[in-house]
């Protein structure tokens, strides 16, 4: 199982190590550093690195490498999933997960890691159980602790730990009982030069914030559940009920959690809410190129597209760009060759555009790669797949909760080739 964990920052310093079995010398990370050096970018460090006696499995998040050391045959996905869980937990505890924050809270981090694994076996990874064992630091608690000498380590066995509903603690009480659900969809798409869709898929999630007293039993039904043929559920969802009736029935965890994630695949027709018109030309002989892009709405069901940003990695031969946007702000970094344009809202009457010239390296031949345009956008009150919640009912408790459902569509990896 998982032997040790090293946290390494992007400059290659190990700033935290934790061992769950015997101590593994940190020199084992040298193999990782070698791989890091070979990879041009941090993202490209391979996640599985063999060394003569160990295997190093790593994830890269928040500019930190989380490197797990294992010695025997362990499912790598198990380790990688766990590492992501560690990052999520840190984020949950400290708001952000960064080197300074981890260093500031090193003792809590250490205590949490100790609770998460025992002998390399996962012990408690549910955030609500962890939080009962090790209280997250808050300014108030730190002050109180210093004054009263009490601790941030719970001395009670977390109640959820062994019950049939391990994700929920007992004795939850709220004065305002509320349950909010966010249906968030991200479109991953590749659009080719001519504007036709090569592939498009939707990654959707339903995130919930449930603050209900007692042991509520909820059911959530959809207008069009047939859209959901590829789903992953939170453990609380009763799978049998879903299979037979296509209804989500569950006792929710307390607080924030992800109820389900789903995937609408490339085979279904996916509506593409925006289009990009582009004309980028590098002229062979002269050292000037023309650049023009326009962004417009496509299938938005009448909703506004907002939060639009455009980013594009320009070819190395581009020295500088002089562009004028019709709205928003733009920037070009001549070192990284990254063009970014913060567009904002799209007004269908007056489409935003960005045009101008590029100065190219004199004498160099025409760049052979065309830049790919990366698009970000948001559409409120719309689930692009058409998914709609029908109703939410609560059983098992007497009070009437306040319910709310929100929809949102975002761009995931939305790429337009030019």
Partner 1 sequence: MTDSKYFTTTKKGEIFELKAELNSDKKEKKKEAVKKVIASMTVGKDVSALFPDVVNCMQTDNLELKKLVYLYLMNYAKSQPDMAIMAVNTFVKDCEDPNPLIRALAVRTMGCIRVDKITEYLCEPLRKCLKDEDPYVRKTAAVCVAKLHDINAQLVEDQGFLDTLKDLISDSNPMVVANAVAALSEIAESHPSSNLLDLNPQSINKLLTALNECTEWGQIFILDCLANYTPKDDREAQSICERVTPRLSHANSAVVLSAVKVLMKFMEMLSKDLDYYGTLLKKLAPPLVTLLSAEPELQYVALRNINLIVQKRPEILKHEMKVFFVKYNDPIYVKLEKLDIMIRLASQANIAQVLAELKEYATEVDVDFVRKAVRAIGRCAIKVEQSAERCVSTLLDLIQTKVNYVVQEAIVVIKDIFRKYPNKYESVIATLCENLDSLDEPEARAAMIWIVGEYAERIDNADELLESFLEGFHDESTQVQLQLLTAIVKLFLKKPTETQELVQQVLSLATQDSDNPDLRDRGYIYWRLLSTDPVAAKEVVLAEKPLISEETDLIEPTLLDELICYIGTLASVYHKPPSAFVEGGRGVVHKSLPPRTASSESAESPETAPAGAPPGEQLDVIPTQGDLLGDLLNLDLGPPVSGPPLATSSVQMGAVDLLGGGLDSLIGAPNFVAPPAAAVPTNLGAPMGSGLSDLFDLTSSVGTLSGSYVAPKAVWLPAMKAKGLEISGTFTRQVGSIAMDLQLTNKALQVMTDFAIQFNRNSFGLAPAAPLQVHAPLSPNQTVEISLPLNTVGSVMKMEPLNNLQVAVKNNIDVFYFSTLYPLHILFVEDGKMDRQMFLATWKDIPNENEAQFQIRDCPLNAEAVSSRLQSSNIFTVAKRNVEGQDMLYQSLKLTNGIWVLAELRIQPGNTSFTLSLKCRAPEVSQHVYQAYETILKN
**Binding of residue 198 to partner 1 (CB under 8 A):** yes
Which among 21-29, 168-176, 343-351, 387-395 is the span making contact with partner 1, rule CB under 8 A? 21-29
Query: What is the phi/psi pair of residue 257, to 5°?
Result: -160, 165
386 CB-near residues (< 8 Å, 6+ apart): 224, 227
For residue 261, the cross-strand partners are 205, 232
Angle, vertex CA 292, rays to CA 291 and CA 294, nearest 5: 155
Using CB atoms within 10 Å of the CB of residue 160, give its burial: 0 to 12 exposed, 13 to 18 middle, 19+ buried.
buried
Shortest spacing between CB 332 and partner 1, in angstroms? 18
Task: Let me know: does 229 contact 263? Beta carbons within 8 Å.
Answer: no
Helix (H/G/I), strand (E/B), else coil: 66: strand
What CA–CA distance (Å, rounded) separates 45 from 216?
A: 45
Query: What is the phi/psi pair of residue 129, to 5°?
Result: -75, -45
**Binding of residue 18 to partner 1 (CB under 8 A):** yes
Which among 108-116, 288-296, 383-391, 400-408 is the span making contact with partner 1, rule CB under 8 A? 108-116
Helix 106-116 crosses helix 76-94 at what angle (to 10 degrees)? Answer: 140
Q: Which of residues 142-161 bind partner 1 (CB under 8 A)?
A: 142-143, 146, 149, 151-157, 161
Shortest spacing between CB 176 and partner 1, in angstroms? 29
**Binding of residue 254 to partner 1 (CB under 8 A):** no
Shortest spacing between CB 187 and partner 1, in angstroms? 12
Q: Which is nearer to partner 1, 274 or 394 (CB)?
A: 274
Shortest spacing between CB 382 and partner 1, in angstroms? 20
What CA–CA distance (Å, rounded) separates 329 from 309?
A: 10
Q: Which is nearer to partner 1, 113 or 346 (CB)?
A: 113
Which among 185-193, 206-214, 344-352, 388-396 is the span making contact with partner 1, rule CB under 8 A? 185-193
Q: Which of residues 301-320 bind partner 1 (CB under 8 A)?
A: 313, 315
In terms of Cα–Cα distance, which of 41, 125, 110 is closest to 79? 125
Task: Let me know: does 372 contact 149? Beta carbons within 8 Å.
Answer: no
Applying CB under 8 A, the site for partner 1 has a residue count of 106
**Binding of residue 170 to partner 1 (CB under 8 A):** no
Count how many Cα atoms sit within 13 Å of the Cα of residue 369 in the half-sphere of its side chain. 10
The number of angstroms, rounded, from the C-alpha of 63 to the middle of its chain's C-alpha atoms is 14
Which residue in the set 75, 171, 302, 363 belongs to the binding site for partner 1 (CB under 8 A)? 75
Q: Which of residues 362-391 bind partner 1 (CB under 8 A)?
A: 368-370, 372, 374
**Other CB atoms within 10 Å distance of the CB of residue 149:** 7
What CA–CA distance (Å, rounded) separates 99 from 109?
A: 12
How far, in Å, are 195, 317, 324 from residue 371 at the CA level? 15, 11, 19
Q: Which is nearer to partner 1, 126 or 210 (CB)?
A: 126
Which residue in the set 170, 239, 279, 406 belongs to the binding site for partner 1 (CB under 8 A)? 239
Element (H, E) at 111: helix 106-116
Which among 196-204, 207-215, 299-307, 392-400 is the span making contact with partner 1, rule CB under 8 A? 196-204
Which among 169-177, 188-196, 381-389, 402-410 is the span making contact with partner 1, rule CB under 8 A? 188-196
Q: Which of residues 205-234 bind partner 1 (CB under 8 A)?
A: 229-234
What CA–CA distance (Å, rounded) separates 298 from 300?
A: 6
**Other CB atoms within 10 Å distance of the CB of residue 227:** 19
**Binding of residue 340 to partner 1 (CB under 8 A):** no
Shortest spacing between CB 242 and partner 1, in angstroms? 8
Which residue in the set 8, 29, 97, 108 belongs to the binding site for partner 1 (CB under 8 A)? 108
Task: Let me know: does 181 contact 408? Beta carbons within 8 Å.
Answer: no
**Binding of residue 81 to partner 1 (CB under 8 A):** yes
Shortest spacing between CB 192 and partner 1, in angstroms? 8
Which residue in the set 3, 4, 8, 55 belongs to the binding site for partner 1 (CB under 8 A)? 55
Shortest spacing between CB 345 and partner 1, in angstroms? 25
The pattern of x and - marking residues 115 through 144 that bind partner 1 according to CB under 8 A reads ---xx-xx--xx------------x--xx-
Q: Which is nearer to partner 1, 102 or 323 (CB)?
A: 102
What CA–CA distance (Å, rounded) separates 401 from 213?
A: 9
**Binding of residue 331 to partner 1 (CB under 8 A):** no
Which among 22-30, 218-226, 276-284, 324-332 is the span making contact with partner 1, rule CB under 8 A? 22-30
């Amino acid at each position: 199982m998982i032997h040790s964990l090293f946290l390494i920052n992007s400059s290659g310093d190990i700033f935290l190590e934790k061992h769950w079995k015997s101590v593994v010398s940190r020199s084992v990370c040298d193999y990782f550093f070698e791989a890091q050096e070979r990879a041009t970018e941090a993202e490209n460090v391979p996640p599985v690195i063999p060394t003569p006696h160990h295997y190093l499995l790593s994830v890269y998040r928040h500019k930190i490498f989380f490197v797990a050391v294992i010695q025997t045959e362990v499912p790598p996905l198990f380790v990688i999933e766990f590492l992501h869980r560690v990052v999520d937990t840190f984020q949950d505890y400290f708001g952000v997960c960064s080197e300074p924050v981890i260093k500031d809270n090193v003792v809590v981090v250490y205590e949490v890691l100790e609770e998460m694994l025992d002998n390399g076996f996962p012990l408690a990874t549910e955030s609500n159980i962890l939080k009962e064992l090790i209280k997250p630091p808050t300014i108030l608690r730190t002050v109180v602790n210093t004054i009263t000498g009490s601790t941030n380590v719970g001395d009670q066995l977390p109640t959820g730990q062994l019950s049939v509903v391990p994700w929920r603690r007992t004795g939850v009480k709220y004065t305002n009982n509320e349950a909010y659900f966010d249906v968030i969809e991200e479109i991953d798409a590749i659009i080719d030069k001519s504007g036709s869709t090569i592939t498009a898929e939707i990654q959707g999630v339903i995130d919930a914030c449930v603050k209900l007293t007692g042991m509520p039993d909820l059911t959530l039904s959809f207008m069009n559940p047939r859209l959901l043929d590829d789903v992953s559920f939170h453990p609380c969802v009763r799978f049998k009920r879903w299979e037979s009736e296509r209804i989500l029935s569950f006792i929710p965890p307390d607080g924030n959690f992800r109820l389900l994630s789903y995937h609408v695949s490339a085979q279904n027709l996916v509506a593409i809410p925006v289009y990009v018109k582009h004309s980028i030309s590098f002229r062979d002989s002269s050292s000037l190129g023309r650049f023009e892009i326009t962004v417009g709405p496509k299938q938005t069901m009448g909703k506004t597209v907002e939060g639009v940003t455009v980013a594009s990695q320009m070819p190395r031969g581009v020295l500088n760009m002089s562009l004028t946007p019709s709205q928003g702000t733009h920037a070009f970094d001549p070192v990284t060759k990254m063009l970014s344009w913060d567009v904002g809202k799209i007004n269908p009457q007056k489409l935003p555009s960005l045009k101008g010239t590029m100065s190219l390296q004199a004498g160099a031949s025409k760049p052979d790669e065309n830049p790919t345009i990366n698009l970000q956008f948001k559409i409120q009150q719309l689930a692009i797949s058409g998914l709609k919640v029908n109703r939410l009912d609560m059983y098992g408790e007497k009070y009437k909760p306040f319910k709310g459902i929100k929809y949102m569509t975002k761009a995931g990896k939305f790429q337009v080739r030019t």
